[in-house]
Structures are given as C-alpha cells and as structure tokens.
Structure 1
C-alpha cells in the first residue's frame, strides 16, 4: 500500500496584507478623485482659520478697550481654535459622504463584489478618512493658533511652550478626525446623506443645549459624555472644572467612534447592498 502523503498548506498572510493595502489604495483613489471631498475639506480649513482669526480680533479689541476679554472663558489658545465648532460639522459631513455617495450611485455594489467580506471596505475608508483629515487639520490648527496669537498681541498671547497648548492643538486635530470617522459610521448605518448629516448636526450642536434644558440638574454631569463636550476636555485650556479630564474625554470620544463604526460593521455584514 502506497503511503499517504499529507500536504499542509499555510495561509499566506502576506497576500492578505497586500489585499487590504489594495483596498486602501482603491479607497484613496476614489476619495482623491472626487472634487467635492477637497472642496468640503477646504471649507473646514477656511472656517477653522477664519473664525479663529475673527474671535482673536474680538478678544484683542475687547482687551484694548479696557474689557476683560471673554470673562472666565478667556484663553488665547481656545479663542484661536474656536472655529472648531463649525469645522466639526463640515468634517462630519465629509465622513458621511465618503460612504453615502457610494450607496447613492450604486458604486458600493462594485466595491462589495470586489471585496465580498465587506468589512475591509469600511476599514479602508476609515484609514483614508483618518489619514487625510488628520494630515490636513494638524497644520490647520497650528496656522489658526499662530494667526490668533499675532492678532491678539503680546498682552495676552500664548506660546507653544505654555501648559496645555500643544495638547489643545494636536487634540483638536485628533478630535476633528474622530468626528469625521463618526460621520463615516453614521453614513454606513443610515446609508442616506440627509439623515446622517442631520444626525451629526443634532448630536454635536443641538443635543448638548437641548438635553441641558430638559434633564434635571442632578443629571448635568451626563452631558460631559456627549462627543462635543468630551472633546472640549482635551481641546480647551480655559475653565474646564465642569468637564472630564483630558484623558477621560479622549477615551469617551474614541468610545463614540468605536460604537458607531462597530454598529456600521455589523449592519454592513447583515444587510444587502
């Protein structure tokens, strides 16, 4: 009787890695080829620097007129980065459209046909959104900060060596990147741009004020766990006594992102394209 030969095949992890890299490359090509992505990203840059500069001018004008700035919340770094309030909405929209635009055009079917497991598509989109948003917003934060300090003048301006300044600048870029990822998750969950954009707007701008009105005073601390308030814990330098610590705030924001992307991943596997 001839001996039976057993052939053991090893999984080629290199091919798996290359496969995911190809998906990332494909998503990058799709992202960069859409002019609307860059226009929206540029809008966030303009809002960030423009509003920061205007806020810095108001602060400088108030101080030069003998006022005390913006009261207890006066901080030159936070003032120069104040454009983040609107920039976060714009970047949330970027994340939403990265996913919903493919559902709207039907291109998502081609993406899933090329990658039947589907999750690498979501992962690759997350990698592209993370890389582009952070690399664009980090220099934008520095530009907004330096412009603001020039406008404010030597009486109150801050420097990079001051306590918390670098944390606020880098943290702001990281926070906006997280919001773009949150938008990506919402876009994947809802698959429809209007609803997802409306949810981003409500979650970031409407919910903090509305819940502050309807919740009892004893529950006010819960508001710190909303994305925008948690983000303020590590992007602001002024009076933050009512906020979470910077580390806890960062973990809360990451938790929101993980929750939305996690739900998106589950639904992506279960639903039809």
Structure 2
C-alpha cells in the first residue's frame, strides 16, 4: 500500500518541479518577502523610539502579509494547473483512487511550503536584524526569549496557508477564483471584522492575519495572548477545508 502512494508522491513532485510557474512563484516569494523586509525595517528603524513595546522580531517578519498570498498561489497551482490543462484526467487514469491522488498533492505542497516558509522566515529575521544593527537600533538574536518560536511558528503559518490554498483550489478548480477567495479570507474578512455580529467575533481568535498571526510576535498581544493556540485553531480550520476538498474531489466529475 505504501509503495503506490510513494510513487504518487514522487509523480506529483516531478509534475510540480517541472512547471516554470512553480519556480517563478518560489523566486517571487523570496524576492518580495525579503524586499519588503528590507524596506520595512528601514522605516522601522526611524520609528522604534516612539513605538511602545518595540518588537524587532515581529517587525522583521511582517513580510508574511504578502508572502502568504504568494505561497497561497503555489498551493492553488498544485491543483488548478492540472484542471486548466486537462492533465487531471490523465492523472486520474494513472491514479484512479482519487483520495490517494489528492493526498499526494497535499504531501508535496506541505513539504515545499514548510521548507520555503521556514527558509523565508529565517532569512527575513536575519535580514531585518542586520538592517537594525547597521542603524544602531535595538535588535534581536535568534537565541533571545521567544524569537525562535516566532520564526519557526511563522514558517508553519505559511505552510498552513499553502494547504488552505490547496483545499480552495480543489473546491473551486480555477486559479483566479481560488485566489479571490484566499484574498477575501486573509484580507477582506479581517478588515471587516468589526462589522460582524458579536456571536461571530470568537472565530477571529483563530483567523489568518488576526489571531493566528500573533505567532509572529515576541511581545505578548493582550488581544491574542495564546499564539500557539491561535495557530492550532487555524490548522483545524485548514483541516476542515481539506476534508471538504477530499469529499468533493471523490464525488465530482473532472
């Protein structure tokens, strides 16, 4: 049983790495992420004296705001690229068990997103702290309290967003549609959070860019005091979306 699944995973990895869009997206993730880090840290260096609760680590990781969309595109393309080209029918002929095919895609997407997310977060942290150090602004070291959990937690956050994108891509089957929903989830809904009724406010404790994003900070946020619990809640939500994607993928015609 494990050997066929292993072959499915290898096949999905070959397909993903053979797409030029994959490498363009990964390159864009690092160029945009580190570019935003350098620019934002230059601005932060001028503001730290008047900013209460100075958090150099959290500041250096703010590139996640854009990075989550870029890595989300990668997660979406894992599925929608095959729907767009018609290759999904060929994939299903090679792997008739649909749950196995989608599981292989999830495994590959998770592996790529974890590696890319962690590398980006560590690179953003060291880049940001180097900028602060050059300007003689208080900065952090990787061994300082709370820094390593924030950096590694940030990589896990990005991986969760990538898997959310895989689920959305499976449900919608179109890159533009899935991306529009992802933008709504990470930007639009949080921006309109204050308009939601009180009985729905609790959901924002786990929402991307709100509660779950507290994982990027080393200075405690009184609104979201349990960042790892918030991140776990986000992962539960992603698991629900993936479960729905598996259910729909198994029953729907291509």
**TM-score if structure 2 supplies the norm length?**
0.94
Which residue number in structure 2 is paired with residue 180 of structure 1?
Answer: 162
Q: CA deviation at 1:89?
A: 0.7
Pairing 1:86–2:66 present: yes
Pairing 1:51–2:48 present: no
Structure 1 residues 93-116: Cα deviation after superposition (integer angstroms, max 9, x where no partner)? 111111011111111111111111
8 Å contact from structure 1 (residues 230, 244) kept in 2: no
Equivalenced residue count is 252
Pairing 1:144–2:124 present: yes
Structure 1 residues 234-259: Cα deviation after superposition (integer angstroms, max 9, x where no partner)? 22223411015123112111112101
Identify if the C-alpha distance between structure 1 residues 219 and 17 changes in structure 2 by more than 3 Å, giving closer, same or farther. closer
Runs of at least 5 residues in structure 2 that lack an aligned partner in the other structure: none
Distance 2:246 2:23 in 1: 26
8 Å contact from structure 2 (residues 79, 166) kept in 1: yes
Which residue number in structure 2 is paired with residue 266 of structure 1?
Answer: 247
Q: CA deviation at 1:61?
A: 2.5
Identify if the C-alpha distance between structure 1 residues 36 and 241 changes in structure 2 by more than 3 Å, giving closer, same or farther. same
Distance 2:70 2:102 in 1: 20
Which residue number in structure 2 is paired with residue 104 of structure 1?
Answer: 84
Pairing 1:134–2:114 present: yes
Q: CA deviation at 1:225?
A: 2.4
Partner of 2:218, secondary structure, is coil
Runs of at least 5 residues in structure 1 that lack an aligned partner in the other structure: 1-15
Q: CA deviation at 1:217?
A: 6.1
What value does the CA root-mean-square deviation take over the aligned residues?
1.6
Which residue number in structure 2 is paired with residue 60 of structure 1?
Answer: 45
8 Å contact from structure 1 (residues 73, 239) kept in 2: no
**TM-score if structure 1 supplies the norm length?**
0.87
Identify if the C-alpha distance between structure 1 residues 131 and 74 changes in structure 2 by more than 3 Å, giving closer, same or farther. same
Which residue number in structure 2 is paired with residue 22 of structure 1?
Answer: 7
Q: CA deviation at 1:224?
A: 1.9
Structure 1 residues 141-163: Cα deviation after superposition (integer angstroms, max 9, x where no partner)? 11111111111124410011111
Structure 1 residues 184-234: Cα deviation after superposition (integer angstroms, max 9, x where no partner)? 00000011111100000000011001122x125675443222223232132
8 Å contact from structure 1 (residues 92, 200) kept in 2: yes
Higher Cα Rg: structure 1 or 2? 1
8 Å contact from structure 1 (residues 88, 176) kept in 2: yes
Which residue number in structure 1 is paired with residue 216 of structure 2?
Answer: 235
Which residue number in structure 1 is paired with residue 142 of structure 2?
Answer: 160
Pairing 1:254–2:239 present: no
| Greater displacement, 134-143 / 25-34 | 134-143
Distance 2:214 2:44 in 1: 22
Partner of 1:72, secondary structure, is coil
8 Å contact from structure 2 (residues 71, 161) kept in 1: yes
8 Å contact from structure 1 (residues 138, 169) kept in 2: yes
| Greater displacement, 26-35 / 237-246 | 237-246
